[in-house]
Amino acid sequence: MTEAASHLPASRLGGSDIRTISKVDVGLKRRYAAERRFRAFGLAAVTIAICFLAVLFGSIIGRGYTAFQQTRITMMVDFDAGIIAPDGDRTSAAVMSGDSFRFDDLIAASLQRTLELDPNDEDGLYDGLDLLSKGSAPLLRTMIAKDPSLIGTKRTVDFYATGDVDAFVKGSIRADIPESQRLIKDKHIALIDRLEKEKALHLAFNTGLFTNGASTRPEMAGVGVALVGSLYMMLVVLALSLPLGVAGSIYLEEFAPKNRWTDVIEVNINNLAAVPSIVYGLLGLAVFINFAHLPRSASLVGGLVLTLTTLPTIIIATRAALKAVPPSIREAGLGVGASKMQTVFHHVLPLAMPGVLTGTIIGLAHALGETAPLLMIGMKAFIVDYPTTPFDPATALPTQIYMWATEPERAFSERTSAAIIVLLVFLLAMNSIAIVLRRAFERRW
């Protein structure tokens, strides 16, 4: 615009106008440069923010994708009845009780066979056993206890390799660094090569990551218990916060008289949405655990606390959705003789439902990633067994990530990233559903 003004024919302007224009012209170059700079700053800010996002995702995925595969060692195991059940008692109880070293003997025997070791070569045997997870013997024991008819037969069994072997096979422990600084020694590398040649050692999809519970051995640790715990919590949150949130917002939006009291509730809800989540954790600890004596670490308590944290989000979203339904709908309903309640439940609420569900799903997604309040109520325990009801102790996906993040071992770091990827996939799925819902049912009045 300024440019256009400066090119007007001089003959049509008076002397003072010409002076003004030349004054403007002097600064014009500088002002355009400032304009370009300002615009570049804006673009740079957007780019930097998006780059942060890319770096964040890149670093997590780069660290974690390898954890979805795991090194296994497949060996033929001779379930020798003389070793497993020396006294002839083949029941599950007999297998589970007594000396567990006999299962180590089974593993040692099959390792000797697979590697074709000299039976007197004890060092070679111990080096070989170093490659196998220390959880192999218990694994074998539960396998036999589950199916005692295996005793006396021969089967191939997939054993887990240790976390270090796994890291070596995947290339994150490199062979070219000096042996003294390497977690995998030269003798182990030789054995790994031999096992690979025998086709005994291979990479397979890591199902244990999704099914196992907590373990001190990274190769045996998984997010199974955490997934179930998170699922229970989400069910509790959904069952409580959706009805409470919808009922509360319908009252506030459609029935409540506009007075001091509803103003207080309104301000209060907005403030609750911004209260730090750790404060909700303190509330849960003081009220649900210390006062009401609900069990610690239970997913029920976690669900209750998360319900309180998500309720403001759901109420705010529901009220926005109800507000978006035009008053003509209500007037039409009342006009044909419906009661106020009937109008709301038969007409307004169904029309607002897509917005309500979108808000609920986004609230649930927030709840799924919430960590701090769960730490307060003790959902960071070492839990191996699946919880059967929401009253049993459990962990949650984010708290499991927290526990693994503080473990020093490399293999746990890889698993932490993998668990984060799992969490992010869930969040992505939930948010996509919310977006699809909004696109499909959104109505412009």
Partner 1 sequence: MGPLWLLALIAGLSFFGFVLGHWKSVVLSGKARGALAARPGYYGAYVLIWTAIPALLILVALSVGRPFLIEHTVRVNLPAQVLTNAQQLSLEVSGVEQVAAGLKLVTPEELEDIRIGVVAARSVFARHGLPLGEDVKPYQLMAAGTLNLVSDGLDTAIDAAVVAALAFGLIFAFVRVKPRLRARNLVENTILALMIAASSVAILTTVGIVLSLLFQALQFFSMVSPANFYLGTVWDPRFAAAGSTESGQFGFLPLFWGTLYISFFAMLVAVPIGLYSAIYMAEYAGSKVRSTAKPLIEILAGIPTIVYGFFALTTVGPLIRDYVALPLGLGTSGNNVLTAGLVMGIMIIPYVSSLSDDIITAVPRSLRDGSLALGATRSETTRLVILPAALPGVVGAVLLAMSRAIGETMIVVLAAGVAARASLNPFEEMTTITVKIVNQLTGDLEFTSPQTLVAFALGLTLFVITLGLNVLALTIVRKYREQYE
Looking only at residues 243 through 272 of this chain, which bind partner 1 when binding is defined by CB under 8 A?
243-245, 247-252, 255-256, 264-265, 267-272
Q: How far is the CB of 277 from partner 1 (least distance, A)?
A: 7
145 lies in the site for partner 1, by CB under 8 A: no
Look up tokens 């060996």; give the residue: 75
Return d(Cα 110, Cα 327) in angstroms, integer: 78
Is 32 a binding residue for partner 1 by CB under 8 A? The answer is yes
Q: Is residue 325 involved in binding partner 1 (CB under 8 A)?
A: no
Q: Which is nearer to partner 1, 76 or 264 (CB)?
A: 264
Listed ranges 89-97, 148-156, 281-289, 326-334: which one lies at the site for partner 1 (CB under 8 A): 281-289
Site string for partner 1, 346-385 (x = CB under 8 A): -------------------xx-xxxxx--xx---x-----
Q: Is 92 in the site for partner 1 (CB under 8 A)?
A: no
Please tell me whether residue 287 binds partner 1 under the rule CB under 8 A: yes
- 165 contacts 192 by C-beta, under 8 angstroms: yes
User: In angstroms, what CA-CA distances link 264 with 123, 137, 283, 304, 314?
Assistant: 76, 63, 21, 24, 18
Asked whether position 91 contacts partner 1 by CB under 8 A, the answer is: no
Tell me the closest approach of the beta carbon of residue 57 to partner 1, in angstroms: 9
For the chain, give the longest Cα–Cα distance: 120
Cβ pair 169, 203 in contact under 8 A:
yes
Q: Does 110 bind partner 1 (CB under 8 A)?
A: no
Burial classification of residue 327, based on how many CB atoms lie within 10 Å of its CB (0-12 exposed, 13-18 middle, 19 or more buried): exposed
Q: Using CB under 8 A, pick the residue from 157, 169, 308, 361 that binds partner 1.
A: 308
Q: Please identify, using beta-carbon distances, which residue of 159 and 370 lies nearer to partner 1.
A: 370
Query: Using CB under 8 A, which residues numbered 2 to 21 contact partner 1?
Result: 2, 5
One of 38, 101, 382, 441 touching partner 1 (CB under 8 A): 38
Minimum distance of partner 1 from residue 279's CB (angstroms) = 5
Provide the minimum distance between the beta carbon of 145 and partner 1 in the complex, in angstroms, as a whole number: 16
Q: How many residues bind partner 1 (CB under 8 A)?
A: 92
Using CB under 8 A as the binding rule, whether residue 46 contacts partner 1 is answered as yes
Q: C-alpha angle 103/109/113, rounded to 5°?
A: 145
Contact between 49 and partner 1 (CB under 8 A)? yes
Q: 98 or 369, CB closer to partner 1?
A: 369
Distance between CA atoms of residues 386 and 395, nearest Å: 10
Cβ 403 to partner 1 shortest distance, Å: 11
Rounded Cα–Cα distance for residues 214 and 403 (Å)? 10
Selection from 393, 402, 401 nearest residue 294 by Cα: 393
Under the criterion CB under 8 A, does residue 235 sit at the interface with partner 1?
no
59 binds partner 1 (CB under 8 A): yes
Nearer to partner 1, 30 or 197 (CB): 30
At residue 41, what is the residue type? Answer: F
Nearer to partner 1 by Cβ, of 76 and 286: the residue is 286
Nearer to partner 1, 107 or 422 (CB): 422
